[in-house]
Structures are given as C-alpha cells and as structure tokens.
Structure 1
C-alpha cells in the first residue's frame, strides 16, 4: 500500500442552510484502486464530488489529492484530477476533436503532444475514426466515451465518475464499466465511482456506503458483506441504508 494515498478525505462535513449534507466523512483511495461510492439519491454523493472538484468550498475537514491540500494547493491538486460528471459537459456543436483540443489547451499542452494523447485515448475507446463528427451526432454511449477520453488526456492520478452510466443502454453501460476497471488494472489509476447500481461493482472493488451524509460501511466488498452478516453486497447495502 502506498504511503501517500491518491485521495484522502479527512473529517469532511458540509451543510446547506443548516442541514448537514456530509457529516465527518473520512476515507482514502490508493493508486490502482477502484472505489464505488454507493448511495441512494440524496445520500451526499454529488456534494462530496462538488467539494473534491472545488465547485464548493471545503468548510470543515481536509481533502488531499496526491498529497496536495485542495484548499491551499488548489492548482497542483486539481492537475491530478480527471472528472466525468453525470450530465454531459461536451459542446454539442463542436466536433469530438475540437472538444478534446480545447481541454488540452486548458492544460497547456502543445499541439503535437495534444494530438498524440487524443489519438491514444480515442483509439483505446474505438472512437478515433469519429473524431471529426459533431458530438450532437453521437449516441449517449459514444458521448460518454468521448468524456472518458477527455478526462484522461492530462494523465490524472484520480478519476471521478459521477453516475456516468445514467441513461445508457445495457451494452453501453457494461462496456463502460469493463473499460474503467481495465484502466485501473493497466494504468494504476485510482477511481472513485459514484453509483446506486449494485451490478456495477466488481468483487475486487472497494465500497463506501454513504447514507444521509454519513459513511455506514467501507472496505473491500467481502469486508462490507462480512460486517453486515450478509450473503451479497446488495443485501449489505439494504441493511445499512434501511437501518437509519
């Protein structure tokens, strides 16, 4: 296990108008580890992602990315982060290539390096031949592939996925889940995947069960199953979220 986790969340709390959305949340994710943040709507998943990405300001607790404090060393921390939000953030009227080149420009990449990275990521997702098509012409699954490619262009250490399979058909959803897990294995990438879908969890994953802003259980799939005296992760999740 690495001495320095890719993501460290320590005693993180956040409130909206006096109502707590997160309550002393703490966990760490190591390189090469896929962690599924499992919770129903309203559990606090999106709030947590907004704090990690600095869309919201951290009020209580600490967030570190690769050892960089998200508040004190924001630029260094966010340079280590790749994000795919639940709602698409691609420009529909630009081509795939134009969307990706804009991202590389934001990260200060030269044209040659940018083209190399774009080709590499699109080829891995079988999208390179569609690079000159407008995003509007792509189906939901292919748009998600473009967003995954974009999130990886600057070689991040942590990939945040906020329910990226919402609205996708079953084959597209399965392909995306398989691809991300392969990335974890091949690239030593750390992943935090927010979901409410049990079948997106692999036996090798780590799981954090978040309910009403609190962590109810965390650890490997087997550890969460064991601590709840369940036979499978679906049963464990039900026990943990119905008890509160």
Structure 2
C-alpha cells in the first residue's frame, strides 16, 4: 500500500475529531475522501503532513511510518492545501524553482523539473506570468505542479476546487485523474462535492470522524454517489 491509515484517532480537547479511522490506498489509485464540512478530512490531512501528531493508530507512506520515520514519509508526499499558497508576486516559473530549492534540488535539476512540470500542467506559455495574473484554475494547476516537483509518490489535495467555477473544477479533476493514469501517482482527494467522484474511483465516505463506507465508488453507490452520501451522512451533495 502506498498510503495506509490504521486505527487513527485524534481529539481537540473533549471534541473527538477522528475515531478508529482506517483505510488504505494502493499505488496509482485516485481515492476520494468524501465528507461534509467538519467530518475530519482536514484533521486527517494535518496528521498526514505532521502539522499534528497522535499516538493513536498508525500512518505509513510508501512503507515509512510517519511517527518513527517522518522525514522519509514526508519526502513521499506532495500537498495542495485548501487555502492558496502561491507567492502572487512571483512568476509561475519562480514559484516552481523556489519550491524546488527548498527541497534541496540544484539549479539545473530545479530548472529541468520546473520545465517538465510546466509542460505537464499545460502552462509553458504562462511561465513568466505572475501568479496574481492567472485564473483560479491555472493557479491550482501551478500548485499541483509545485507539489510534484520533488517527485513524491502520494499527492494530497484538500478541497482543491473550492472557489472555482464548474468548468475549472472539471478541468482540475480531469488533470489529476490523468496524473494517476499516466504516471502512477497515488492521490487522496478530500472533497464534500459528490460530482467530483467517478464510478471507478476509490471512495471513502467519512462523517463525524468515522469511516462509514470504503470501496469502489460504483460498487458502494451503484445508483448515485449523491444519494448514498445523503443516506449515510444526512448531508446534501
């Protein structure tokens, strides 16, 4: 398993955010972590990225225990957080090369990987454009490209389409699915939007800190992901 979460628990004081939380994601899979706001998705991401720590349960990334080998585990992770994190005054290329330098890449390696990332994201013609001049969807593509600059095996995306229009949401979803299919990237995509889940996606439905369903979306919800989501959580799609 590229990503393994087993029996993880976490509390904010008396508030239980995650309880016996368990699921696995295989290499090259697109896994949608679907839950309403407050379900525990962002708390899980904080644990996966070591912003929070817990002694309850075990998290492993590419075989590395995140508690006992955090550097090796985190080196296998790329992250796109819900809130935008680009430097708006830097060009697209500079956003990428700066991040590459933070990962210890040399000037030549950083430049080569940045060019490859720009090509993969379809943004080569915007390389010298400042981030603030891009559309919301283009900025998200830059963030995804930046998250992959160090060639991680797992990409985490926390509500990556929030604030985007329908066309941009569909384009970003398609782009990330293509990364899975063509490059064997493992993706954990947290969302509350059922229309972002495809029938052949891995689907983990969560609510109030617990996993309610786990499997292939078309098998868990053969008629409608939205109807199944509503039935399990009481939350509208």
Q: TM-score range by the shorter chain?
A: over 0.9
Counterpart among 106, 127, 130 of residue 126 in structure 2: 130
| Structure 2: runs of 5+ lacking an equivalent | none
1:174 paired with 2:170, answer yes
Match for residue 197 of structure 1 among 193, 199, 222: 193
Counterpart Cα distance in 2 of 1:132 and 1:68: 38
Corresponding residue number in structure 1 for 2:233: 241
User: Please, what TM-score do these two structures have when normalized by structure 2?
Assistant: 0.96
Q: 1:166 is paired with a residue of what secondary structure?
A: coil
Match of 1:214 among 197, 200, 210: 210
Secondary structure of the 2:17 match is strand
SS of equivalent to 1:32: coil
**Separation in structure 1 between the aligned mates of residue 156 and residue 44 of structure 2, nearest angstrom:** 11
Question: Pairwise mapping of residues 13-52 of structure 1 onto structure 2 (< 5 A)?
Answer: 13-52=9-48
SS of the residue aligned with 1:132? coil
**Secondary structure at the residue paired with 1:159?**
strand
Compute the displacement of 1:203 (Å).
Answer: 1.3
The 4+ residue runs of structure 1 with deviation greater than 4 A are: none
1:117 and 2:113 matched: yes
SS in 2 for 1:121: helix
C-alpha displacement at 1:224, in angstroms?
1.4
What is the CA–CA distance in structure 2 between the aligned matches of 1:95 and 1:242, rounded to whole Å? Answer: 44
State the SS of the aligned residue for 2:20: strand
Confirm whether residue 62 of structure 1 aligns to residue 54 of structure 2. no
- The one of 68, 77, 81 equivalent to 1:81 is 77
Distance, in Å, in 2 between the alignment partners of 1:104 and 1:222 is 38
Mean Cα deviation higher: 22-31 or 120-129: 120-129
**Count of paired positions:** 235
User: Structure 1, residues 119-154: CA drift from partner, whole Å, max 9, x if none?
Assistant: 111112221121122111112111111101101111
Gaps of 5+ in 1: none
Tell me how far 1:58 sits from its aligned partner: 2.0
How far residue 204 of structure 1 moved from its aligned partner, in angstroms, is 1.1
